[in-house]
Structure 1
Amino acid sequence: MSVIALASDHAGVELKSFLADELKARGFEVLDLGTNGPASVDYPDFGYALAQAVTTGKVEKGIAICGSGIGISIALNRDPAIRAALCHNGLTARLSRQHNDANVLVLGARMIGLEVARDCLVAFLETPYEGGRHAGRVAKLGCPPSSGASGATSC
C-alpha cells in the first residue's frame, strides 16, 4: 500500500480531511502531518515537515494545503528535492506530473472547492511522468545553475 503525506495550516484543515478520506477510499495510507484544528499556525512548519517526509523516503508523494497555496508551496520548494506544484484544476495537476514530475500537490483551500480539489487529486495520482524532453529540465530543478550563460548546472 502506498503512503501519501498530507500537511496543512489552519486554513486547510477541512480540505485536508476531505482529501484524506478520498485517499483512503482509493486504497492509500495517509500520513497526516497536521495541523488538525482552527488555531492559527505557521504554514512553513507544516511545509517543512512534508518536505522532510518526502526527502527521507518516508513517503513518495505529498499534498500540501494553505489558504492560497502560495505560502506553503514556497516553503516546500526551498528543499531542492521537492517539486511542489500549486494547482487550480485537473489540467494543471496533470501537467505538473507529466512535465515536471511534481512530488507534492499544493492546493489553496480558499481558492478552490471540494470537487475541483478532488479532480486535482485524481489527476495528480493517476498521471505518470513523461520524462523524455522534460528530463533535463526537471534535473535542473534540483540543482541551481552555474553562473555560465549556457545554463549548465554546477552539481
Structure 2
Amino acid sequence: MSREIDYGNLMHDAMRGLIRNVLLDVAAHGLPGNHHFFITFDTAHPDAELADWLSDRYPGEMTVVMQHWYDNLEVTEEGFSVTLNFGDAPEPLYIPYDAIRTFVDPSVEFGLRFEQQEGEEEDADAPTPALLQEHEDELEVEEETPKDAEIVSLDSFRK
C-alpha cells in the first residue's frame, strides 16, 4: 500500500494558520501602522454568516476591507467574526478560513490566494493555496477618512 504526502492540504493548513495568527495579533493589539486587509471569501460557504442583503447582493464571493473601522474581532480555530460598517450600518460577519479565497495586505505587498483545482466544483474540498505575486503594487488603496468597510472587486486591480 503506497502512501503520499498531501502537500496541497498541508499548505492550506499552514496558510490558514498564518491568517489565524495575524488576526489573533490584530485582535489583541489592533492593526499596526498602515497594515490593512482585503479579504475575499465565498459568501455561499455553508458556515459563512452574513446578513441576507449582503449574500443576496454578493451570491458568489465578496471582498471586505479591514482598515479604518472594525469591531468585535473574535478569532477561533475554524474562522473569525468581525463587525464591519457598510454605509453607516454595522454588520456582523463570520468567515470560516475555508471560505477565504484571497487574503491581501497591500501595505506590505503580501497576499495569499486559495485556488480551486481544475475539475473541482465550487464547493469542493480545500482549495490550493498560492502566493499572490502579480500586481501587488496595484493593490494600494487611497487613504480615506470615512470609517466604513469597503466591498471591492479584485478584478478592478488586474490588467
TM-score (norm 1): 0.26
Question: 1 or 2 for the larger relative contact order (CA 8 Å, sep ≥6)?
Answer: 2
Would you tell me which structure has more helix in proportion to its own residues?
Answer: 1
- TM-score of the pair, normalised by structure 2: 0.26
